[in-house]
Structure formats: structure tokens, C-alpha cells
Structure 1
Amino acid sequence: MKLYNLKDHNEQVSFAQAIVQGLGRNQGLFFPHELPEFELTDIDELLKQDFVTRSARILGAFIGDEIPQPILEQRVRAAFAFPAPVAKVTDDVSCLELFHGPTLAFKDFGGRFMAQMLAQISGDKPVTILTATSGDTGAAVAHAFYGLKNVRVVILYPHGKISPLQEKLFCTLGGNIETVAIDGDFDACQALVKQAFDDEELKQKLGLNSANSINISRLLAQICYYFEAVAQLPQQARNQLVVSVPSGNFGDLTAGLLAKSLGLPVKRFIAATNVNDTVPRYLASGEWTPKATQATLSNAMDVSQPNNWPRVEELFRRKIWRLSDLGFAAVDDETTQATMKELKALGYVSEPHAAVAYRALRDQLQPGEYGLFLGTAHPAKFKESVEAILGEPLELPAALAERADLPLLSHHLAADYTALRQLMMSKA
């Protein structure tokens, strides 16, 4: 598999290089040189296969002969060891539930696949994973890499801006997992990560790698559950399918669009954000004008400069699609709360991120269409806010209950690169 740097097309790397390197020169994202497409008959055949077999074939179409297919399937089986069920909400809308993995969030798929790929590629060479999280990435990456030989993980997150249970899920592990609470928002954490990747000495000494959604292995893994969703839908729903994606860093939407590029029958996508609405405003006006990030109920989407957006634009350019065909919506907290209550009245308990996606979908779905929105995290990960909004207690799933009372093991730093560098080099 060949990939090129979106900021410097002359920089071309293999899949293995892209995983280890994370970012290209000038902090450019890597993008596939070839965009494979399945025939309609292949799609029909794929949709009849089980999740792991199908996913290995989808991933193989991108990765090619870099990883032999039997090994790839074995690694996929280890990564995707849990289901992604579609739950009916109304006659014309369902939710793709991506929260049945060990950290109860969609990022378990990408995090665990990346861990498997890195283990396959790196062998015994020491690696340091450095990533920023606005909530779910941290837990998924921490649990995916926890206990892996020769891997050190450093996770930055905005102090006081993620839910207490999200924090407990990945800041109580210890061992090869180090967590750092940064005084600032997610964008400040992401800026520190980017500075570290521009630091050649640090990169070389620590074997630095990033495991957030900028890493191509994470992105490719996410393509697979869109196929899994369609495989569970009746034929008539597949023909008029509209998918609404709760969007922060836009990795999930990128993966969905890559699934469509492969031939998955999706009529259109909707990019649903909270009030951090850089992309909806851009799609409406053509002006890219990020504002200061605002804290919201859907905190994992509190991103005003989404890293994956250049990949979305590149895919539209390559496929000669029109950006004007991409649906969009920005949903404020008041509407999010009302939507959670609306879903509850329909018999479906949801959390803020999925509610944002459902609201956009419900508002834009046309007669005869079938809607699918992504449930990216278990409602119990946002226990305090969900209970306050819905007015009833939520039972904690085992994955959260067993960590709820453990002490936090995080460092606490200012948004200062010198301090972060010192912390990271202290254990080099």
C-alpha cells in the first residue's frame, strides 16, 4: 500500500511506514495512493460474510501484500473481538452501536487494530505512543496497548473537560500507560502533540508514534463497521440509506466516506457537530473560519480545527464528488438535551454525541429514505449528564464499575511544551 503526504505529494510511504511515522513532513496527513473499488457483486458477497472475514478483505484491499491475508485476518480477529449491532429506534431510523468493546466507545475498533498492526510491524523495537484525546481516544488507546511489550503510551487530555468516568477508564491503569492532564482545551493538547512530532531528537530517542485518528491504521479500521451496519439492514433500507455521523475530529466521517468510495451503498452522509461548527459554517459559506473551542455536553466533539478534514476534501477531489452533496448540521446543548428526551420517549436511551447525530438525521431525512446514526459511546460514560437530563439512574456496565473507585494516576501540566518534553525524556 502506497500513501502520500497531503501537504507534500512527493513524500510517499508504505503502510508500515505510515503507521510508525503517523504524520508526514510539515505535519501532513497520509492518504491512500490507490482508492480500491469493489464491484456490485463483490459488495453483495461481502455483506453476506461475517464481520471479521469481511473486514480482513476490506482492509486487504487497501493494504495489499504488505501483510499476508491470513495474518491480517488473525490480527483483525484479535482486534474486533466484540460486536457492532444495529438497534432499531423507529421504523425508518436505527442506531449503529459502536460501544460494545472494552472501553465502551467506537475508538476501540481503531485503537485495537492499530495496536495489532504496530505489534506486527515493530517486533521488538521500543515505541512511544503519544496522543491527545478529547475523551474516548485515550481510553481506547490505553486499553489497546496496555501491557504490550516495548510500548510506552503517553496520553494528553484537557484537565476538567472530560467526564469523570471517561477519565477513570484510562487514567487508572498505570504500567506502560502514562496520562497527563493539560491546562487547556483539546486543541491545546493536539498542538503539544504536533510540537513533539516536529522535535527530531525526541522522535528518534523515543521512537515516537501517534495513535489518534490521524494514524491511517485507525482510519482504515473504522471503514469496516460501516459495512457491518449495512449488512444488518434489510434490502429496502440499503437502497435509500442516509448516515449521520457525530463529528469532532472527522475521522469517523472520513472512514464512512471511504466505505462509500469502496462501493458501499450510502445515498448521502450528514456531518453533525455541536456548536464547534467550523465545518458546517464552511460548507454553508465556503469560508474556513475556526473560532475558539467551546465546552459542550458532547465533549468528545469539542474540536474547532478538525485534523481529518483535509482527508475529506482530498477524497471529494479524487472521486470528483461535490462537497455540496454532504449534509451538515450544528446542534446546541439545549437541542441536544431535548433530543435525548425525545429518544428516551421512543424507548431508546442515548448520550449527547449520538443525540446530536440523531437530531441532524431526523431533521434532514426525506420520505422513503432510511436513516442510520452512529452511537459512538455508551450512555454510562456520561453518567452524570445523562442522569441529570433524563431524570433516572443509569446502571454502570462492568467495564466502568470496576474502575470507578480507583485513584487517578495522571500528571498535571500547563500547556507548555518544555514541561511535556522534560516529562517524556525523563524515562527515555
Structure 2
Amino acid sequence: MNFISTRNNSPAASLSQAIAAGLAPDGGLYVPERLPPKRELSPGSNLAETAADLLAPFFAGDRLGGELAAICDAAFDFPAPLKPLATPRDLVLELFHGPTAAFKDFGARFLAQCLARLRRGEDRPLTILVATSGDTGAAVAAAFHRVPNLRVVVLYPDGRVSPRQAHQLGCFGDNVAALRVAGSFDDCQALVKQALNDAQLQAEAPLSSANSISLGRLLPQMGYYAHAALAHRAATGNALNFVVPTGNLGNALAAILARALGVPLGHIVLATNANRVLPDYFHGRRYTPQASVATIANAMDVGAPSNFERLRWLYHGDDEALRASFTASAVDDAVIREVISRRFEEHGEIFCPHTATAVRVLEDLRASGQDGDWAVAATAHPAKFESVVEPLIGRAVEVPPALNGLLQRPARAEPVPASYDALKRAILA
């Protein structure tokens, strides 16, 4: 299968070429020339098996095709359990059982496995650039830490991630450098895109991306939606609907693509924080990127979601059809806090701010009469946001062992301005 740019001004690329490049030469995002036809999928014995079966058409004929099963086995070696919530027919898909306690561990580890294989025998290291609003950078750093012939430069907005997130971002060292940028996530993302499109810089230091703009991050995220939905249908006979907290749209797009491939997913509803670009669009306004707003659900503090290009591509640029297919709701900080506090008091449930955002949207759906089986995508462990969660529930949140191990390491991040020259210096250092 070949892959093309969403902007239709770059040559077609193989899957391996698209994964290695990260971004298409014309600045667009790689998408398949055409989606594989829908097919009847069966629940695999484990998550890795389900993911490999779902991804097989994308890897067919590629140099990585023969290694897909091994890549999935190495990347998906921790669970993504689907558990019931206290309210009937409501569930939560826990995506935070990986090494950095966030859903982004899945895609980051898959991408690292792919690139480690693609870089065998290369005489120069590949530098992975990643902009993060909280969780992506740590997942990428953990996945690529000490992988031969690969290095990582993480950019994050200084003061706009939680203390534990910041510590994770700077605790790896070795082949991982963390830059705390005097700006917003959108500034970090714009710098990464500028570097990836700088041919002169690429000639001096080969670059790729590990944000959700990377196919190697996006495609594997379909796996956990497929595994959960297929298992749920086998157990109940019902399709599973989802509320997905979203910032850059990668996680939600993975669910949307999985459904397009035949996975028995029903409705997919987007939940955002006070950054209202997507809710405004789905309520009929023109898509207009804005400066991001800082919130307590900081991983969703995105004012220009990159994967919107892919979503529009999927719907052939038809805004009317796209708006008819999805809804998106915004939840502000006060309501997020109220949900965290109330759900713990009433049911003993503990959510991170992003998961609480989706829980509130699900509550609103139920109040409006929505029926069926619904799951919330729980994107991070609440212990990553102890400064928000613990005062609201009045107790400490137990820290998972893997996360606790990272927090015991010393951490360092270099302060830099939101300047392309500063980023270039860091890359070439």
C-alpha cells in the first residue's frame, strides 16, 4: 500500500518511507491512497494479535510487513482493560497501564519498534522531534530511550504541564534531550513542523516526528479500540460507542479509522476542554485555529489540531458530511473539577482531568436520552495529575510502580525561547 499527502503535492511513499519521514514534503500528513475495504474482524487472543490483524493491510508489501507480528508483540505488552463504571452500561477503557501511565505509550512504542528496524545499518542517527502538551513526550522518550542510532528532542511549553509530567520529560538523559519552551504547545508544534520542512537542516541531521502526525503513532492506536469493541461484541452482541477526550485529534481519529475498517464501533463523540476549536466547528462554525488556552486538562490544550487535516481527508473535504457524523463538546475547568470530586464521593472512581472531561460528556449524553453501551477512553493515570486530583478527592492517589520509578530519577530540561534558531542549535548540538 502507498501513502499520499493530505495536501496532494508530494510523491506517493511506501509505509516505511512515510513512517521514517513523519511529515510529507509538502507539509501535509501521510494518509493511505485508499482505505482497505471493510472486513469482518474477530477478537484476537490478546491486544497484540488483534492489532496485527487490523494493521496487516497497511503493511502488505512493505519491508516491515514480515515483522509486523513481532513489532506488535513488543509494543503491546501491557493491557488495555475495559471495565464497568458505577452507572449502568457505562464503561471505561483504561489506556494508562504502560511505562509512562498514558495512552501514548502504545503508539510511541510501536513507532520505536518500526524505526529501530528501519535504521539498521544507517551511518547517521535519526533525530525524533516531538512537541508535547503533557504525555506524548514522556511516552516517546521512554520508548526510544537508549535505542541505538536514534535520538529524541522533546519540546514542551514551560509551566503548562503538570509537575510530574515535567519530571518525566526531563528524567531520561542519554539520547533524549528535553527543551522547556517559553511558549504554548502550538508554538512547540509549529517549531517541529518548521524543522521537518527544512531541507537544509534535514541534510545535516536527518529528522522525523513522533507526534500523532506520524503514521507510526496513529495506526497502532486503532488496535486497542478494535480489541475492546470486538471483545465487547463477542460478550454482549452490542456495538460499543465511545467518548474520546481529544486535543490534537490523533486518538479520536484512530477510533474513527478503526470503525471505517469494520470494527464494531457505534457513535464516536469528541470531548475537549476550554479549547473550543473542534466543538465550534462541529456546531457549524468555520474551522478556525486559535491560540490555545491553558487548562487543568493540559494534554488537550491545543488550538490547531494537526489531525483535522486527516479527518477532512477521510470525508473528502465535505464539511456537511463530517459535521453530520460527529459531535464535540467542551468542558471547562470548573466542571472538570466538579466531576472528579463528585464521582469519587459518590462512586469511589478516580479520574485524571482528561478522562473526567469525557465522563462529563457521557453524563450529558445519558441525560439527553442516549441509549446503548458507551465507553470512555481513559487516557492517563490520575497519579500524573496529583496536584489537581488529590485536593479534590481529599486523599493521595497511589502511584503506579513504573511511573514511580521514573519520578525517582533526577530530571533536567533546557530552557529555550520559542525560536526556530534555538531549536536548530539544540538539534545540531
TM-score range, shorter chain: over 0.9
Name the amino acid aligned to 2:353. P
Any unmatched runs of 5+ in structure 2? none
The answer to whether 1:362 aligns with 2:358 is: no
Instruction: Give the corresponding residue for 1:264.
Output: 263
Q: How many residues align?
A: 422
For the Cα contact (< 8 Å) 2:233–2:240, is it kept in 1?
Answer: no
Name the amino acid aligned to 2:99. P
Q: TM-score, normalization: structure 1?
A: 0.94
Q: Deviations over 1:363-389 (max 9, x none)?
A: 114453111110000100111111012
Of residues 58, 69, 74, the one that matches 1:73 is: 69
Shift of 1:10: 4.9
Instruction: Give the corresponding residue for 1:326.
Output: 326
- CA distance 1:151–1:82, shift in 2 (3 Å): same
Secondary structure, counterpart of 2:36 in structure 1: coil
Instruction: Give the corresponding residue for 1:401.
Output: 404
For the Cα contact (< 8 Å) 1:271–1:328, is it kept in 2?
Answer: yes
The separation in 2 between residues aligned to 1:240 and 1:405, in whole angstroms, is 42
**Which segment is superposed worse, 205-214 or 195-204?**
195-204
- Show the 5 A alignment for 1:213-252: 213-233=212-232, 235=234, 239-252=238-251
**Which segment is superposed worse, 297-306 or 201-210?**
201-210
- Show the 5 A alignment for 1:122-161: 122-125=119-122, 126-161=125-160
Secondary structure, counterpart of 2:116 in structure 1: helix
The separation in 2 between residues aligned to 1:111 and 1:325, in whole angstroms, is 29
The separation in 2 between residues aligned to 1:296 and 1:24, in whole angstroms, is 31
- Show the 5 A alignment for 1:5-404: 5-39=5-39, 42-43=40-41, 46-67=42-63, 70-89=66-85, 90-125=87-122, 126-233=125-232, 235=234, 239-317=238-316, 322-344=322-344, 345-365=346-366, 366-404=369-407
Q: Deviations over 1:28-62 (max 9, x none)?
A: 111111211343xx32xx22542212211111121
Shift of 1:238: 5.5
Shift of 1:69: 5.0
For the Cα contact (< 8 Å) 1:186–1:302, is it kept in 2?
Answer: yes
Secondary structure, counterpart of 2:279 in structure 1: helix
**Which segment is superposed worse, 93-102 or 57-66?**
57-66
Name the amino acid aligned to 2:280. R
The separation in 2 between residues aligned to 1:296 and 1:237, in whole angstroms, is 38
Shift of 1:235: 4.9
The separation in 1 between residues aligned to 2:159 and 2:408, in whole angstroms, is 18
The separation in 2 between residues aligned to 1:51 and 1:168, in whole angstroms, is 30
Name the amino acid aligned to 1:414. P
Name the amino acid aligned to 1:113. F
Shift of 1:240: 4.6
Q: Deviations over 1:286-310 (max 9, x none)?
A: 3122332111010000001000011
Q: TM-score, normalization: structure 2?
A: 0.94
Q: Deviations over 1:172-229 (max 9, x none)?
A: 1100000000000100111111121122121122110111100011100100000111
- CA distance 1:376–1:336, shift in 2 (3 Å): same
